[in-house]
Chain A
């Protein structure tokens, strides 16, 4: 690997980690679409701040973007509080409008500056290594790495400091309010963090892929655990793995890095959705099949036990009787009998099914339960 590749990978991993942390809370608070809204509207903040300071590398841009991020949240709430439109409509109205203003301002007024809407939407992490942070001529690595590293540290610090508040407000806002925490304050704080992260990240990965890194890894982690700290950790790991995987996929196909990172996020999510141990689709199907068989075999054993030693036993324990009596399809009945025979729970004796000792024991236990 060249040092430029190492730089790109480092930036990618740091971006993924920084996005995963606020993203976890967005997913849990059912506000994932706000990441989409904010990652679009922060562009307006950047443009407006740029007109003030006329420097694309000024930290003021990040502050401007964060303010517009908060403005987005505030506007959405103001519009939906009128009661005239629903909240989803309010989101769908506010962010395209702010984003449109930004795009028009860019094309009209900043035409000669390196600030174009395509770049903001799509990002180009491949250029990250060329913009070096070199104070006093000392090369300390890519600027993007420093910016995102700082944001990651801030995100970690905020999460650690306000972990209790975030957890409480996320899972039980009513209790949080009753205990004297302000859900609104936590809400806006989180939104500010989302805005800052979105600004920092979209230089590298583009605004829409910020959404992928904020929502995808936490959604996948959500399928794997019920514990918040573990979900945060898993999100960071899944995000980092997707980012690195996306980078290599992009190299392989010679294509857009950010786009392929988002694609890998989708693939990882799908794999976890299918194969996650307790909740994955495959596991659920297998569990359901196993439960179906367990239940059926217990029914068979209980049926045999009930009639054992009675006058009707000869009739009731014939193998071909089962599918009518239990209303099972004939094939399924055969399978159940065959499997039960193989496991030594019943044996076929002169066209009669008889319980083995083990089968009798299971029947008794199941019937009592």
Chain B
């Protein structure tokens, strides 16, 4: 594995991997709350709205320092969120419309400023267009340090206000009755979402950053019902997707953002399919099993009913053609062979079937169970 060897030796690769890991941890952990609070699309709107912030920050300060650009991005992203909430509160325009509108208007404004900068003779292109889809290879040590510090600040905020944010995410009404300042907490948690977004601007880009906020959280949600575990898992998934995606994109020479997003999506798909308890594969398996069990019990009851009509000899063989007609041949035959294997039914030389004494007892027990206690038939 060349890549693994290079990881420890090659400066660029190491920077990329560390930066992507920091990005994944921060956006995963903070994004988990966004998933729980149904803010997935708000994250999308805010990440697009970060573009004018990046451009304006550069235009005003002339600096390309990651912290300056991040602060600019955070300010406009945050303003977009405030605008969305205000529009919904002040008019009859609904949230989805307000989000789509602010997303496109802020992004359009960003393009205006960006193009304006690019047409300035002196400033040069400044590589600002890389913020659309991200470019991990361009990451420098200073980027990684800034991402890690800003991200750590966000994570610290979550740790300090863990209890409050937990309550706010699951039962904001109860939080309000406890006298918590829910409005302020709401603003604070949404501001942390901004941090989750701006740490990924350089690596993933504004267009796809929302996926890095949503996907790790959505994947982690499948594995646990415990908030602490979910946030930790989301951070791990985010880091895995970040590092794997960044390394893949550097070796395969694809855009970094889309590659990271696809790895994260892969994690979601796997989680949706095989996560214990919630996974779709297990659900399908459970449905199939209970389907079979029901068929088994139904055939057992049918045979018991046939036996009851011939009270002289309960184990007299019966022709099962009638059962075939009612329940379908394949189902009946499979149920019969399973019953026989369990010693509950027996096949007679004539080709007919009957229950064994044990099968009769089992049918009786199930019938009682179905009638419920205390009922007299």
Contacts and interface: CB of A to CB of B under 8 A. Distances in A.
Interface string A77-90: 00100101110110
A100 B133 CA distance: 10
A219 B108 contact: no
A35 interface: yes
B96 interface: yes
Contact of A259 (B44, B108, B218): B108
B112 A253 contact: yes
Contacts of B258: 99-101, 103-104
Nearest to B209: A96
A253 B116 contact: yes
B254 A258 contact: no
Interface in A86-110: 86, 88-89, 91-93, 96-97, 99-101, 103-104, 107-108
Give the interface size class of chain A.
35 or more
Contacts of B116: 253-255
Contacts of B97: 27, 30, 32, 215, 218-219, 222
Given A84-B278, A101-B262, A93 B268 contact: yes
B104 A211 contact: yes
Contacts of B41: 33, 88, 91-92
B371 to A, nearest CB: 33
Interface in A182-211: 208-209, 211
A266 interface: yes
Given A84-B278, A258-B111, A108 B254 contact: yes
A130 B121 CA distance: 26
B40 interface: yes
Nearest to B283: A82
A338 interface: no
Nearest to A210: B104
Interface stretch (A46-54, A115-123, A138-146): A115-123
Contact of B100 (A35, A97, A223, A253): A35
A265 B280 contact: no
A48 to B, nearest CB: 16
Given A255-B115, A279-B91, A208 B268 contact: no
Contacts of A256: 111-112, 114-115
A262 B94 contact: no
A93 B108 contact: no
B38 interface: yes
A24 B129 CA distance: 32
B320 interface: no
Best-surrounded residue of A104, A222, A261 (most CB of chain B within 10 A): A104
B112 A260 contact: yes
A107 B255 contact: yes
B367 interface: no
B87 A263 contact: no
A33 B99 contact: yes
B257 interface: yes
Nearest to B210: A92
Interface in A273-319: 273, 279, 281
A344 to B, nearest CB: 37
Contacts of A108: 252, 254
Contact of B208 (A79, A84, A99, A223): A99
A92 B180 CA distance: 30
Best-surrounded residue of B103, B110, B258 (most CB of chain A within 10 A): B258
Interface in B51-91: 87, 90-91
B101 A100 contact: no
Contact of B218 (A36, A89, A262, A265): A89
A31 B100 CA distance: 9
Contacts of B222: 84
B43 A92 contact: yes
A121 B104 contact: no
A217 B114 CA distance: 24
Nearest to A205: B108
If over half of A's interface residues share one DSSP class (helix, strand or loop), that class is named, otherwise mixed; here it is helix
Best-surrounded residue of A40, A88, A216, A269 (most CB of chain B within 10 A): A88
Interface string B103-127: 1111111111111100100000000
A18 interface: no
A223 B101 contact: no
A215 B104 contact: yes
A262 B105 contact: yes
A91 B61 CA distance: 37
Contacts of A121: 132, 207
A93 B101 contact: no
B101 A212 contact: yes
A219 B101 contact: yes
B194 interface: no
Contacts of B147: none
B332 interface: no
A118 B262 contact: no
Nearest to B279: A84
Nearest to B271: A84
A104 B108 contact: no
Contacts of A273: 87, 90-91, 93
B231 interface: no
A242 to B, nearest CB: 10
A86 B103 CA distance: 21
Contact of A208 (B91, B104, B255): B104
Contacts of B107: 208-209, 259, 262
B265 interface: yes
29 contacts: A30-B96, A31-B96, A82-B280, A85-B218, A88-B40, A89-B38, A93-B268, A107-B253, A108-B252, A118-B129, A208-B104, A208-B107, A209-B107, A209-B108, A214-B100, A216-B104, A219-B101, A223-B92, A253-B116, A255-B119, A258-B111, A259-B109, A259-B111, A260-B108, A262-B108, A265-B105, A269-B101, A273-B91, A279-B91
Interface of A: 27, 30-33, 35-36, 40, 79, 82, 84-86, 88-89, 91-93, 96-97, 99-101, 103-104, 107-108, 117-118, 121-122, 208-209, 211-212, 214-216, 218-219, 222-223, 250, 253-256, 258-263, 265-266, 269, 273, 279, 281
Given A253-B112, A253-B116, A259-B115, 15 more contacts: A33-B99, A85-B272, A89-B35, A89-B38, A92-B211, A97-B211, A99-B258, A100-B208, A100-B258, A101-B262, A107-B253, A208-B107, A212-B105, A222-B92, A260-B108
